Amino acid sequence: MSGRPEILFPLFGSLERLPGIGAKTAKALANLRIETPRDMLFTLPQGIIDRTLRGSVRDAVAPCVVTVEVEVERHAPPLKRARPYVVTVRDAATTFQIVFFHPRDEWIRKQLPLGARRIVSGRIELYDNIARMAHPDYIVAPEDLGDLPEIEPVYPLANGVTQRLMRNAARAVLDRLPQLDEWTDPHLLTREGWPDWSEALRLAHWPRSQEDVRPQAAARRRLAYDELFAHQMTLALARARSRRAAGRPSVGTGQMTSRLRGALPYALTSAQERCLREIEHDLGRPIRMNRLLQGDVGSGKTAVALLALAVAVEAGGQGVLMAPTEILARQHADGLRPLAKAAGIRLEVLTGRDSGQARARLLSDLAEGRIDVLVGTHAVFQKDVEFRDLRLAIVDEQHRFGVAQRLELRSKGCAADVLVMTATPIPRSLALAHYGEMDVSIIDEKPPGRKPVTTALVSADRIDEVVGHLRRAIGEGRRAYWVCPLVDVSEATDLAAAEERYQDFRAALGASHVGMIHGRMAPAEKDAAMARFVSGETSVLVATTVIEVGVNVPEASIMVIERAETFGLAQLHQLRGRVGRGSEKSTCLLMYQPPLTESGRRRLELLRRTEDGFEIAEEDLAMRGAGDVIGTAQSGLPRFRIADAERQTDLMAMAQIDARLLLERDPDLASDRGRAVRTFLWLMRQDEAIRLLGVA
C-alpha cells in the first residue's frame, strides 16, 4: 500500500475545483470540517424543505414554507426608508403580502409585474395576523414550475456558506463520483436492504421525503455503517496485528502469587478471581494479550494488577504499571511496596520527577533485571527506559487516553502483553467503539462490607450550614475532601476559586486543619499535601479535580462537591468513589447553584439514587451524548459525520463482527473484497489502519 489509490484522487483534490467555490468559500467550508470533495460527500442534509405546489397559503400553519401560484394585485413601495416594499398577491383562496426589506424597486417590479401570474415559494409568517412572505426563495413564471425543486435538501451551514452553494457543490461531487468496488459484505447489503455506495450517497443528498432524512433510512444507515466499519477495521487490524506478533507465553510458578495472597489482608472476590484467571490464561498463551480490565471505582483492580505482574515475574520477566498522574503512581508504589516485598518482588517507582544519578541507577537496574516491577507515570515509556525482559505492561485508569494513544503505545514497539484498567463503567455498546480491539474482563462485584455512601443534594445558599457540619465532623476526627467548582476550562480560574475556599476554611476551621491540592502545584508540594491528609495532620483537603483519579485514603468519609451541576456524571461518580472506602459511614454532598435546570436535577438525582457505576453510565448515555459519558475531549472516539455512536450501537456491533471476520478470512486483505476494503480505508482516512496494513 504505497499511497492513496489513484481512483480516489478526484475526491481528495482541491475544493476550489468545484463550481462556485473560490478561496474564500473554501475557507468558510472548513468551518464545517469540509476540506476536500470527499468531506462534501459525507456532509449530509439535515432536513428537507417541501416545495410541493399548494392551492393557497390559507391552511398553512405559519411559520412554514409554502409554494403557491399567485396573481400580483398591488405594489406598495415604502414611503419611508426602513419600511418594507409590500406586494399584495392573491392565491386560489386568499390574499397575502410579499415583502422586501432594503428593496430594489426595479427588480421587484420585474419579478412580480402587476397583474402577472407567478409561482412563489418561501416562508410564510403571521404578522399582525396577516400572512406574509418575506423575500421568497423562488419566484418563477407558471410555465417554469419545473425549475423549482419539489423537495429541497437542507444542509448544515456556516458563515459565508449558503444552501445553494452546498447543493451545487454536493451535486458536482456526486456527478464525478468514482466507481468503487463494493467493500461491504454482499450478504449484509441484501439482508439489510442497503443500496450500494454511490446510490446511497445520491439518496442521502437528494432526499425525497422526510422519511429519507431519518437516520433509519436505508441509505443513511449504510453510510453510517461505512463510518463505523472503517473505525472497527482500524481496531480489528490493530488487534490482528498484536495477535499475530508472536508473544511469549508467561506461565507463573505460583510462588510469588501465593505469598502475595498470604500478604493481602483479604481474600479476592470471585469477580477478581475470574478476571485474574482470564488474564493468566492470556499471559500463558503465545499470542500477545490485549485486554481491558473494567471495574467500578473501589472494585479492587489494583490487587488483580499486582497478582498479574507477579505472574510475569515468576515467569522470569518484568512488569510495568503505569498511572496517569504522579500522585497516583506514587500512591500505587507506596501501597504495593510492602506486598511486593513480602513476595520477594523488587519494585521501584519512576516518574518525570526522577533525574540525574538516581534515575540513571534505576535505569541500569531495570536494564539488567535487578528490578522486577516498575511503577510510574508515562515516564516509564520514554526512549531510554529499557527493560531486560518486559512481559506485562499495565496501564491504569486508561479512560484518560483515547484509542489513538493506545494504538500509539503499541506502535512504539511495546511488545509485551498489555492490560488496560479503567474505572469508567462504559455501557457495553460503547465499549465496542472504544475498546473494540481488546478483550474485556469485568470486575462486576465490590469487595464485601462496603458501606453505602449517603448522597444528598444541597443548594449553595446553605454553604454556611454545610461548613458548620464540617466543623463538627472534623471535631469528631473525620476527614473530608472539598472539591472546588470547575468554573472555567482555564485552570487559572479554578485555582482562584480553590484558593479562596482554602483561605475561607483556614479562617473558619483553623489553619492547621486545612490542606489544599491542585494541578499547578509542584509534584513535591502535592505529595506533601497528600501525605498530610493521609496521616490525618490535615482533616480537610480542598482540591480541584486532581483527586479524581484513583486516590485512596480510606479514612476520608466526607466528600463535598461544589457546583456539582457543572461536572459530568461519570466524574461525579469517580469523585464520590473517593469516600466509602473505609469502615466509617460516608457522606457525599452535591452542592448546586440554584436554579437547577430540569436535566441538571435529573442528573444529580440519579447519583443520589444509585452508586452503581454501570447504571449511572447507561442513564448518562440515555440523557446525554456518548462523548460526555467519558468526557468529550477524552472520549478518543473519532468524530463521526453520519453515524451516531450512541444510538446506532447495533451497527457498531455488526461492524465489529464484520471487521474481525474479514480479517480472519483474509488477513492481508488480498481478496477482491479485501482490496476494495483497502481503497475504502483510504477513502475513510483511516491512516492508522493503512499504516498497520503497510507493516503487517
Name the site residues for ligand ADP (rule: CB under 6 A): 266, 268-269, 272, 295, 297-303, 423, 447, 550, 552, 554, 581
Q: Which amino acid is at 672?
A: D
The cell numbers describing 308, all together, are 498479574
CB-closest chain residue to Mg ion: 550
| Beta carbon of residue 302, minimum distance to Mg ion (angstroms, whole number) | 5
C-beta closer to Mg ion: residue 153 or 550: 550
Strand order in the sheet with 347-350: 347-350, 373-376, 318-322, 390-395, 417-422, 290-295, 439-443
Q: Would you give the DSSP letter of residue 166?
A: H
Interior angle at CA 267, CA 263 and CA 272, nearest 5: 115
The partner in contact with residue 163, picked from Mg ion, ligand ADP, none with C-beta cut-offs of 5 to 8 angstroms by kind, is none
C-beta closer to ligand ADP: residue 264 or 623: 264
C-beta closer to ligand ADP: residue 203 or 421: 421
| Beta carbon of residue 20, minimum distance to ligand ADP (angstroms, whole number) | 57
CA 571, CA 629: separation in Å to the nearest integer?
9
C-beta closer to ligand ADP: residue 9 or 266: 266
| Beta carbon of residue 345, minimum distance to ligand ADP (angstroms, whole number) | 17
Return the range that interacts with Mg ion (CB under 5 A); candidates 471-479, 548-556, 598-606, 677-685.
548-556
* CB contact set of 20 (below 8 Å; sequence gap of 6+): 165, 168, 169
Between the alpha carbon of residue 256 and those of residues 300, 395, 674, the distances in Å are: 19, 22, 47
CB-closest chain residue to ligand ADP: 300
C-beta closer to Mg ion: residue 445 or 644: 445
| Beta carbon of residue 272, minimum distance to ligand ADP (angstroms, whole number) | 6
Return the range that interacts with Mg ion (CB under 5 A); candidates 36-44, 547-555, 629-637, 650-658.
547-555
The partner in contact with residue 392, picked from ligand ADP, Mg ion, none with C-beta cut-offs of 5 to 8 angstroms by kind, is none
CA 29, CA 37: separation in Å to the nearest integer?
11
The partner in contact with residue 613, picked from ligand ADP, Mg ion, none with C-beta cut-offs of 5 to 8 angstroms by kind, is none
Q: Counting contacts by CB under 5 A, is residue 425 touching Mg ion?
A: no
Q: How many helices (H) and strands (E) does the chain have?
A: 25, 22
C-beta closer to Mg ion: residue 340 or 470: 340
C-beta closer to ligand ADP: residue 459 or 552: 552
Q: Would you give the DSSP letter of residue 128?
A: T
Return the range that interacts with Mg ion (CB under 5 A); candidates 274-282, 550-558, 563-571, 618-626.
550-558
Return the range that interacts with Mg ion (CB under 5 A); candidates 210-218, 493-501, 545-553, 653-661.
545-553
| Beta carbon of residue 614, minimum distance to ligand ADP (angstroms, whole number) | 14
- Give the distance from CA 392 to its chain's centroid: 28
| Beta carbon of residue 606, minimum distance to ligand ADP (angstroms, whole number) | 21
CA 11, CA 35: separation in Å to the nearest integer?
10
| Beta carbon of residue 301, minimum distance to Mg ion (angstroms, whole number) | 5
Question: At 552, phi and psi to the nearest 5?
Answer: -125, 100
Residue with the three cell numbers 412580480: 112
DSSP for 257-306, please give it.
HHHHHHHSSSPPPHHHHHHHHHHHHHHTSSB--EEEEEE-TTS-HHHHHH
Q: Kind and range of the H or E element at 329?
A: helix 326-343
| Beta carbon of residue 326, minimum distance to ligand ADP (angstroms, whole number) | 17
CA 25, CA 22: separation in Å to the nearest integer?
5
C-beta closer to ligand ADP: residue 103 or 298: 298
| Beta carbon of residue 471, minimum distance to ligand ADP (angstroms, whole number) | 28
Q: Counting contacts by CB under 5 A, is residue 550 touching Mg ion?
A: yes
Contact present, 134 and 126 (Cβ < 8 Å): no
C-beta closer to ligand ADP: residue 270 or 512: 270
Would you tell me which residues interact with Mg ion (CB under 5 A)? 550
